[in-house]
Amino acid sequence: MIPSAFDYARPSTVEEAVQALVDAGEDAKVLAGGQSLLPVLRMRLAAPTVVVDIGRVPELRGITEDADNVVIGAMTTHYDVARDHLVQDHASLIARATETVADPQIRHRGTFGGSLAHADPAGDLLAPALALGAVMVVAGPNGRREVPASEFFVDYFTTTLAADELLVAVKVPKHTGWLSHYEKFNRVAQAWSIVAVGVSLRVSGGQIADARVGLTNMASVPVRAVGVEQALIGQPAGADVLRAAAEHAAEGTSPGSDGNGDAAYRSQLAKVLTGRALSMAVGG
């Protein structure tokens, strides 16, 4: 099928984009890379009256750094994020997770900010952003504000973004030299994660000095596996410690049940995948 008719706006600055959203009211949709939106429009699961295409706003693309953060423009594609040296050096968990998103064609078009704003709990970038303490830079009619990832995700497909607000960039605090792995479980190629686990560890002299663990699709929003983190910090990075820590993975989560598996199955998966992710991060 083809989408139902809509008006199309193509702003060239963030301010114009916000104005287009203000003018359009509640019925507007922001078109970023379009890899989730276009299929939804084609199946007519959504029929916005206005589509605001932010693909020609130069400020939204590219990756920079400041003293403490890697700053990822919202419209930077998955392909560019995964290959970027700043991301690989200072936020390797983001690179590892991004490599697993969908398939190559979709990674060429899909964007970092689009995935976060879409807030699908099975999306692979939410948990890594949360685990690394990312901060969302949001533009609206009254200027810009910053929202930590821990407050940004509200529910299934729901963020704190208002209808007239736009995600501009994401500041990811530098985790230079941390060991990372993203372990994703799905049944067929290009399918969404049933459960996935992102881990990032700072290991020094064989000891785990710090740990961040984020879970994908274990609740309506991404969650930090705090129990796992606490069981790791200050311990030697050995197989026994990793295995024991992974046992805490499902604590405090509220996974859904669907055709891919029920809540108990997801909880078990979270532990198994956390164990794998930890040993992969330490071993390679």
Partner 1 sequence: MRVTMVVDGVSYTDEVEPRTLLVQHLREKLGKTGTVVGCDTGNCGACTVHVDGHSVKSCSMLAAQADGCEITTIEGLARDGKLHPVQQAFHDNHALQCGFCTPGMIMQAIDLLADDPDPDERTVRHGLEGNLCRCTGYQNIVRAVQDAAHRLKPAAEADRERETVAGGE
Q: Which residues contact 239 (CB under 8 A, 6 or more apart)?
A: 279
Please report which residue ranges of 119-206 form alpha helices under DSSP H: 126-131, 149-152
The answer to the question of residue 8 lying near partner 1 (CB under 8 A) is: yes
Residues binding partner 1: what is the number (CB under 8 A)? 30
Interface residues for partner 1 in 102-141 (CB under 8 A)?
102-106, 108-109
155 binds partner 1 (CB under 8 A): no
Sequence-ordered alpha helix ranges (H) in 139-248:
149-152, 226-232, 239-246
Contact between 51 and partner 1 by CB under 8 A: the answer reads: yes
Residues between 176 and 215 that touch partner 1 (CB under 8 A): 189-190
Token pair in block for residue 141: 């009619």
Which residues face 173 on adjacent strands? 69
Rule CB under 8 A: is residue 39 a binding residue for partner 1? yes
Rounded (10°) CA dihedral 229, 263, 197, 210: 0
Stretch that binds partner 1, among 50-58, 222-230, 259-267, 273-281 (CB under 8 A): 50-58
8 Å CB contact between 50 and 7: yes
- 4 or 176: CB nearest partner 1: 4
Nearer to partner 1, 176 or 190 (CB): 190
Q: Which of 21, 24, 28, 31 forms a contact with partner 1 (CB under 8 A)? A: 31
Compute the Cα dihedral for 247, 180, 221, 44 and give only its sign: negative
Q: Is 1 in the site for partner 1 (CB under 8 A)?
A: yes
Nearest approach, Cβ of residue 38 and partner 1 (Å): 4
Q: Which residues contact 201 (CB under 8 A, 6 or more apart)?
A: 178, 179, 180, 208, 210, 211, 212, 232, 237, 278, 281, 282
Stretch that binds partner 1, among 7-15, 18-26, 64-72, 265-273 (CB under 8 A): 7-15
Residue whose CB is less far from partner 1, 59 or 99: 99
CA separation for the pair 97, 183 (Å, rounded): 8
Which residues are near partner 1 by CB under 8 A?
A: 1-8, 10, 31, 34-35, 38-39, 41-43, 51, 53, 55, 79, 102-106, 108-109, 189-190
